[in-house]
Structure 1
Amino acid sequence: MRRVHRHARSVVWVETTAARWAVADVADFRQFVLNGTSGLLWRSFDGHTSDGGIVEHVLAAFPGHPDTARADCRALIDELVRLRLLEPAHPEPDHDLADDAGMEL
């Protein structure tokens, strides 16, 4: 199954100095700091690109990455989901197809 995630709706973030990302869940005030590889991974979630595509993008930025990097990136994605900082993205309905089918959106 192709997994696609986006930043959770209750999460805000800002890039700080030294390429660090401050991430906060406004629903419960949890705060996190991501940097380096985790920061690049974080800012790559757009709700359209598959998790696998994002991992490959991140690994391409670090050509000398260790053999464990792919598994580490996937583990970080799982942790971000567990922390409710990422949520599954679902494609928006195609309005033209919905109109053709007589559906209202």
Structure 2
Amino acid sequence: MKEVVDKIRAAEKKAAELKAEAVSEAEYNLKKVREKGKKYVDDTVASAGRSAALMIKQAEEETAEAAAEKIKEADERAGQIMMSAEHKIDEAADRIVERIMGSI
């Protein structure tokens, strides 16, 4: 009878050891899962931050390009106006010279 009781106690002890080992393993696995989850979240946030920064930079570059294009267009238009004005001044000067020469 004592043998049976000893076997039962040994089985209970072994079960307790296995349970403690399983709990320890589960806690370790949970810790690893949490670490991987945190790393995934951190990586996702960092990636989103980089994407947002890139989008902002592209928007700024597009805005700068658009502004540069507008300045270029305005400069070209100003050049056209100046050329037109110079041409009109030259025409007016020619007409004045013609009038003066015609009145002499």
Under a length normalisation based on structure 1, what TM-score does the superposition of the two structures give?
0.18
Larger Rg, first or second structure (1 or 2): 2
Q: Which has the higher strand share?
A: 1
Q: Which has the higher helix share?
A: 2
Under a length normalisation based on structure 2, what TM-score does the superposition of the two structures give?
0.18
More contact order relative to length (CA 8 Å, sep ≥ 6): 1
